[in-house]
Amino acid sequence: MRANYHSIETFSSVDGPGIRYVLFLQGCNLRCGYCHNPDMLSIKKNKSITVDEIVSDFLKYQSFYTNGGITVSGGEPLLQIDFLIALFTEFKKIGIHTCIETQGTLFTDDEKYRKLIEVTDLFIINLKGVDDKYAKAISGYGIKETLNFIEHLHNKNKKFIITYVLLPTINDNKECAKKIAKLVKRFGDCDFEVLPYHKLGVKKWEELNLPYRLSIDSATREDVKRFIELIKQYLEQEVA
């Protein structure tokens, strides 16, 4: 079983709990305006790797991952779901914590996803917008399947974290904060993280001769703090 991949990071502290080994798979079905890895969009580019090669490489650094594990990110890793199932099945045999970073738009309630959920300890789900209007403007795709995926995980008592990239002047208003508060309540006060938009990927777009369509400032810590406070206010009001 092989996967097309972009790169591997052997010491990450931001892609799940603890120190983690992160595999970035190639390919994405969305075209987000703020994407900082446009070189991962095509599933056909870069290199291929096998399950055994990843397990072997992970074990070289295993002492670092006592409180961590392996995370697969992208791109959109669920484009290569068969590989993910095979990979995580092997890691669960040796007791390693497994995590996937995904936007969830490819979810279907079928046997493959049931198998994947069984061998995945944590899903980090990036919400592209509070509704279809916002999500389509940002990524070109709605959020119906993403919400179905989150609800499915919630009903199965699976661990998940929802993340949301804060884009100044685009998705940082009261309407968005209120809808997020409703979402958090809907899924039992789930874990929710606000990530600040940054421009670190702009140079990659330029190198690929691709137009970068966002012309906004990066989000500051104060922007994130203010937005979180808005969400809390609506939660305290029981999201009327």
* Separation of alpha carbons 230 and 240, rounded Å: 14
* Helix or strand run (H / E) with residue 145: helix 144-155
Average pLDDT of span 74-87: 97
**167-201: per-residue pLDDT in tens?**
999 999 999 999 999 999 999 888 999 999 998 88
pTM of structure: 0.94
3-state class (DSSP) for residue 158: coil
In 3D space, the residue among 230, 121, 113 whose CA is nearest the CA of residue 178 turns out to be: 230
Q: What is the mean pLDDT of the chain?
A: 94
**207-237: per-residue pLDDT in tens?**
989 888 889 999 999 999 999 999 999 999 8
Within a 13 Å sphere around the CA of 39, how many CA atoms are in the beta-carbon half? Answer: 13
* Separation of alpha carbons 208 and 213, rounded Å: 14
Average pLDDT of span 25-44: 89
Mean pLDDT lowest among 31-35, 74-78, 111-115, 132-136:
31-35
Q: Are 152 and 44 in contact (CB under 8 A)?
A: no
pLDDT at 46: 73
CA dihedral 9, 12, 16, 21 (to 10 degrees): 40
Chain centroid offset of residue 221 CA: 21
* Helix or strand run (H / E) with residue 12: strand 2-12
**118-159: per-residue pLDDT in tens?**
999 999 999 999 999 999 999 999 999 999 999 999 999 999
* Helix or strand run (H / E) with residue 88: helix 81-93
Chain centroid offset of residue 144 CA: 16
Q: Is pLDDT of 240 > 70?
A: no
Q: Is pLDDT of 238 > 80?
A: no
Q: Give how far Cα 224 sits from Cα of 85, 101, 137, 165, 171, Å.
A: 35, 21, 21, 10, 11
Q: Are 15 and 71 in contact (CB under 8 A)?
A: yes
pLDDT at 37: 86
Does a cis peptide bond (omega within 30 degrees of 0) precede residue 104? no
Assign 239 a pLDDT band (cuts: 50, 70, 90): low
pLDDT at 57: 97
pLDDT at 43: 83
